[in-house]
Structure 1
Amino acid sequence: MVLRPALSRRPAGSGRRRRRRGLPAVAAAVVLALTAVGCGGGSGDSGKDSSAAPIREGGKISIPLPVESRGLDPFVASYTATADGSRMSALYDFLVTLDPNTGEVRPRIAESLKPDAGGKLWTLKVRPGVAFTDGTPYDAAAVKANWEAHADPAMKSLRRGLVAGVTTEVAGPLELRITLATPNLSFDRTVAYGLSFIASPTAFRADPAGFGAKPVGAGPFKLKEWVRGDHQTMVRNPTYWQQGLPHLDQVTFKTIADNQQILNTIATGQADLTVTSDGQVQAQAENKNLKADTAQVDGGQFLLFNLKRAPFDDPRARRAVALAMDAGAMTKMLFNGEIKPAHGLFRENSALIDPSVPQQPAPDQAEAQRLFDELAAEGKPVNFGFLTQQHPTARKAAEYVQGRINQYRNAHMEIEAVEIGAYITKGLVNRDFQVQGYGMWQADPDPAFDTLLRSTSSSNYGGYASPAADRALDAARAAGTPEARRQAYTDLVREIGKDLPVWVWQEATTTTVYRPQVTAVKLANEGQLEMDQIGLTG
């Protein structure tokens, strides 16, 4: 997809000229999920202004989120909507974004991102006149430095897999030539997904160890204060590249682990806005005279099996667990039926797959017990640990799985609940798990599903390796028509349904919940707020 220069328009009530941008959309490089479970329908369109009321300049808002930041640099931060996605948007802005409703890639700080005919060579042109808050030019060299840092194994970047085999050449101050290892006509989606937040190379090189606590970007806000475990205060960037933006003077991101408490805090006026994947919060928001806008995305909450460790190195163990579970019963018990159960990684109404092909097996308790018994007879009972976060909703989901599995003979599950930093280190860095609770919210399957499922991906945390799945992923990237792309992803889900590297129990939806006084709320990618746009009315 080719990016075109942004147009100019005059927003209602602002009295200032600003550039038009589309809703971006593909999630952060690794979607660390698991904190806000739930999904559901939507009451709004994330691609439109949340209100036609005039925006007043200035003011402060508070945004509670359930996850504390591990760090605010582009390498270790979680880009998910319920974690650091909006914090990163505030500090760094985006190179490009992807509209979660249309699938269109659109420019931000990038002026254009174009492929050659085959999709192996791409050219990125950076918008002129942009600088980081320390005065360093935001140019092609800055983008190159960041992408090379992602590729450095010593960085342990969560986005390392996205730049594997990618080489870059600075062709001019604002032009970067990009060569991919293999043709990929969806590389612009990869950039939107996980390579769009660019840090000041000057500041990062000066203090790489401390940069995550003292970030320097080119976004609409800059960090003023960070009280660990409580809040981060960000103030308006006076040198922001878009004249007249942001509207707000200050944004405070609060850490509140419980989704219900977040909702009550907004309903009572102690906070203003949140982003959630919890369908119960969305349903209750409308009963509390709050607004709610939703973006439809793929992915969801799922069990991620480690195929490199027993018992799930045996496909029968994975199938037994999948057959023992029931997504409909699980969502009904956990959330009173207020969220939608999943059928697989692609949402039920996805146009990207053939709906007649099942993504995962239907529940079958008798067959599950037969498989458990068969494995036990071979000396391989399905006893395993479940790695999850300490977040109340994630723990509640794990307890449901435990109760379901422990009803069977020759199967037993224990829960290991840890704080998010330990979860990332244990599950994603060290791969020290048997099964873990995981989640993804993606406006487009590429590159998120590619990084999760490709055999050679450094972000393939479960160790899944299937030549047929790899071929389907290759075909999706090479597809020149929607029909060819649909066939490729249908072939992929056919393999996933057979191999079961994951079992998905909840469909993905990202929702913004906010007070009526908040306006111009827009979602980028899978649910990152466009922080420059948000304002207050009255």
Structure 2
Amino acid sequence: MAGGSATVLLVSEARTLDPAFGSNNNIGNAPVMNGIFGTLLVTDPETHEVVPSMATSFTTTDDGKTFVLTLRDGLTFSDGSPLEASDVKAHWDRVKDPATGTSYQGEAALVASTEVVSPTTLRATMVAPVPNFGNTIVSTVLNWVPEKESIAAGGPAFDENPIGAGPYTLKEWRRQDALVLVKNPDYWDAPRPYLDEITFRPSTDAGQRLNTVVTGGADVALESNWLNLKKAEQAGLVVRTQSLSGGNYLAMNTRRAPFDDVRARRAVALALDPLSINASAFDGAAELVDSVFSPESPLNTGVAVPAPDKVEAQRLFDELAAEGTPVSFTVTSSASTESSRTSESIQAQLSAFDYVEVEIEFVQFAAISALAASKDFDATVWSAAFLDPDPKLFTAFEGSSRANQTGIDDPELNAALLAGRTSSSVEDRKVAYEVVQQRLNELRPNFWTSRNNSSVISGRQVGGLNLYGFGSLRPELLWIQN
């Protein structure tokens, strides 16, 4: 089982190996970051509970006002220096600093201050109680810790020699081609990692991704396309899926016309039928968002997402046009198969209505990240998928959140999101998130297109397919049957 090499296909290529600018999900560079830097915490694949990894514990005794992170003894970076609580502090402080410019600054800013209690112990004091802050760590870049001295060298230098304490180290990175990691002989969790070498290759085209695994050109592929999952199962491949609530959605930018008018948002949302998107984009294979929370979620109270109403949609389009403001907007979409087909289906459906015009602007995946910071778009295909609703629902729809792509800022919605974040009981959280769903249904800042597909596919010779958080692959568990 030990030894050998594997080729893993990613949905997109990393822009940098600086963990502050990673994306801890299955469409980003999470497997690479997990390989180089390891993980402080992970989620149990069966219970979805947060459990230790490089940490031995992450605990609170005051309902999330403060936390204590305890590291394993003897952790070392790949250059031989010790990984200590001061490195965690330096990384969390850097992500928290707005000047750094990471997309996870809002989550890091939940921490008011950190204190190094000992070389293996860090105490975090929160701005407000966040009982489920462990979910924030496993779903963001806070889970990856670089050596604090090496990160000061700057982006290009760090990309050439990233120093982490993960199961692998960087051998070479040929941009737009391959990133190769080799086994770290000093990794703390021997005999892991099982593979001697992993080659990561970007593959944005869904069909090509699947065919490469089917024909043996790759051993594993991160997958976000529902149709690919269906075809992979038919081809006899191994499929692992992280079941999530929430999903993908059309984010309508309420900061500017036409979507600063709730009638325009409602018109678009009522005009669109997710079944049509599913048929055209995923051949009917996608799971749809009939309620924000999945049926398996303990927080599901049965609040339904509104059904399409084409008659009311046209009435609203007519009303806006009569006032001299017919609906016209551009969907900015990544060139990935999933986003592009979704955008094209949205455009085709809306073309059947009077007084609405839709254009599509296709950009590279890296440009989507820049767009998330600038907010310079009318509408874009985005995602808010989660195991636990905090932090994702809060960061996606709370008014002051930097990650709020829609720009919606509603006092009742903000208060409910905060209550869901700070409450420790399931019943109190259910009450809060029921209000959240009701306000989203009324304000319509987004239109849910499908559940998020956080999956991995592989040939039958591959074992150890394990996802945590938002579908983040743990490369140290992979093995190949020779």
Q: TM-score, normalised by structure 2?
A: 0.96
Deviation string for 1:430-489 (max 9, x for gaps)? 110011011243222111111111112121122111221222222222323222222221
Shift of 1:246: 0.6
Are 1:323 and 2:270 matched, yes or no? yes
Call closer, same or farther: CA 1:258–1:413 in 2, change over 3 Å.
same
Structure 2 residue identity aligned to 1:444? D
Which residue number corresponds to residue 280 of structure 1? 227
Structure 1 residue identity aligned to 2:425? T
Matching of residues 228-247 of structure 1 within 5 Å = 228-247=175-194
| Aligned residues of 1:98 and 1:443 also touching (Cα < 8 A) | no
Which residue number corresponds to residue 142 of structure 1? 87
Structure 2 residue identity aligned to 1:103? H
Which residue number corresponds to residue 138 of structure 2? 192
Which residue number corresponds to residue 299 of structure 2? 352
| Aligned residues of 2:394 and 2:418 also touching (Cα < 8 A) | no
Distance in structure 2 (CA, Å) of the matches to 1:463 and 1:230: 36
Shift of 1:497: 0.8
Shift of 1:213: 4.9
Structure 2 residue identity aligned to 1:192? V
Are 1:98 and 2:43 matched, yes or no? yes
Structure 2 residue identity aligned to 1:255? P
Are 1:453 and 2:397 matched, yes or no? yes
Match of 2:6, SS? strand
Residue from 334, 350, 361 that aligns with 1:416: 361
| Aligned residues of 2:294 and 2:300 also touching (Cα < 8 A) | no
Distance in structure 1 (CA, Å) of the matches to 2:448 and 2:475: 31
Shift of 1:59: 0.1
Structure 2 residue identity aligned to 1:432? D
Call closer, same or farther: CA 1:212–1:450 in 2, change over 3 Å.
farther
Deviation string for 1:7-65 (max 9, x for gaps)? xxxxxxxxxxxxxxxxxxxxxxxxxxxxxxxxxxxxxxxxxxxxxxxxx2110000112
Structure 1 residue identity aligned to 2:457? V
Structure 1 stretches lacking a partner, 5+ long:
1-55
Deviation string for 1:317-363 (max 9, x for gaps)? 110000000001210222221222222533355331211x22x3211
Matching of residues 139-218 of structure 1 within 5 Å = 139-166=84-111, 167-194=113-140, 195-208=142-155, 210-218=157-165
Bigger helix fraction: 2
Distance in structure 2 (CA, Å) of the matches to 1:390 and 1:334: 14
Count of aligned pairs: 480
Distance in structure 1 (CA, Å) of the matches to 2:127 and 2:475: 34
| Aligned residues of 1:99 and 1:525 also touching (Cα < 8 A) | no
Which residue number corresponds to residue 238 of structure 2? 291
Residue from 171, 189, 193 that aligns with 1:224: 171
Which residue number corresponds to residue 478 of structure 2? 534
Structure 1 residue identity aligned to 2:467? L
Shift of 1:406: 2.2
Q: Please tell me the root mean square deviation across aligned C-alpha atoms, in Å.
A: 1.6
Distance in structure 1 (CA, Å) of the matches to 2:341 and 2:454: 20
Structure 2 residue identity aligned to 1:264? N
Match of 1:285, SS? helix
Distance in structure 2 (CA, Å) of the matches to 1:302 and 1:472: 21
Are 1:401 and 2:346 matched, yes or no? yes
Are 1:374 and 2:319 matched, yes or no? yes
Distance in structure 1 (CA, Å) of the matches to 2:110 and 2:423: 20
Are 1:62 and 2:7 matched, yes or no? yes
| Aligned residues of 2:25 and 2:469 also touching (Cα < 8 A) | no
Distance in structure 1 (CA, Å) of the matches to 2:156 and 2:291: 39
Deviation string for 1:300-325 (max 9, x for gaps)? 22101111111111111110000000
| Aligned residues of 1:235 and 1:251 also touching (Cα < 8 A) | yes
| Aligned residues of 2:26 and 2:455 also touching (Cα < 8 A) | no
Which residue number corresponds to residue 60 of structure 2? 115
Q: TM-score, normalised by structure 1?
A: 0.86
Distance in structure 2 (CA, Å) of the matches to 1:207 and 1:335: 41
Shift of 1:500: 1.3
Q: Relative contact order, CA 8 A, sep 6+: which one is greater?
A: 1
Shift of 1:150: 0.5
Structure 1 residue identity aligned to 2:278? T
Match of 1:206, SS? coil
Distance in structure 2 (CA, Å) of the matches to 1:101 and 1:302: 27
Match of 1:154, SS? coil
